[in-house]
Amino acid sequence: MKKNKISKNWVNKQRRDIYVRQSKVDGYRARSAYKLIEIDEKFKIFKGGLSVIDIGAAPGSWSQYAFKAAKSGRLISIDLKKMEPIGNSVQIKGDFTEKKIQEEIKKNLSDKVDVVMSDMAVDTTGIKNVDSIQTGELCKEAMFFAKGLMKDNGYFVSKIFMGSTFNEIVAEGKKYFKEVKVFKPKSSRKDSKESFIICRKIR
């Protein structure tokens, strides 16, 4: 009964959400596209010809925006789930934390990349501190992986949650990058603890 009530609340929230409605108009697969759009508007990340890696890409709204914004660039999308194709982008199905998947990503690169981005989060347990810690670990792993693939002036963008690991992740970012910012887009739900870390210029 309680589960049904939660499901109904979620459905009602989705119906009222302007970003959910707008995503259907604009052809994006999820409302999360608007978070990346806001990040790009503020930090001027994307331009034509960029090479981009999207970690935890499904259902693909970030990849959709990156493919459009990077125009003639190269896009590699990775996720545990299978995604619908996006243009001529490369899609890799698997767990990016596994060595074999990381090697497959590298095999699809001919040069260092301009942007590594991640909207990954673990399946939530409902225990906010646990969710924050686990998603934080994913962010740190993505950051460590990204710095070995990125151009010196490249960008790393990742979801993080406010919580016990927040300061640790920001400190980790400052260890690897010269510029580190934290930003919460307006399209991020008010009751969500998520923010995004934007890192640039490898040390």
Could you tell me the pTM of the whole model? 0.89
3-state secondary structure of 162: coil
Domains and CATH numbers, the chain: 28-202 (3.40.50.150)
Q: CA quadruple 24, 26, 27, 32: dihedral positive or negative? A: negative
Lowest mean pLDDT of 6-10, 93-97, 105-109, 153-157, name the range.
6-10
- pLDDT number for residue 12: 45
Q: How many helices (H) and strands (E) does the chain have?
A: 7, 7
5 pLDDT higher than 80: no
Whether 159 sits among the annotated catalytic residues: the reply is yes
DSSP labels, 85-125: --TT-EEEES-TTSHHHHHHHHHT-SS-EEEEEE---PPP-
Share of the chain above pLDDT 70, in %: 88
131 pLDDT higher than 80: no
Q: Residue 29 in contact with residue 60, Cβ under 8 Å?
A: yes
- pLDDT number for residue 1: 45
- pLDDT number for residue 96: 92
CA distances from 55 to 1, 60, 84, 128, 146 (A): 36, 10, 15, 22, 10
Q: Residue 146 in contact with residue 138, Cβ under 8 Å?
A: no
Written as six digits, the tokens of 33 are: 């596209």
Written as six digits, the tokens of 200 are: 């640039």
User: Mind listing the pLDDT tens digit for each residue in 163-197?
Assistant: 888 999 999 999 999 999 999 999 998 888 899 99
**Active-site position among 128, 159, 181, 190:** 159
Classify residue 98 by its DSSP letter. S
16 pLDDT higher than 70: no
> What rounded mean pLDDT belongs to the chain?
89
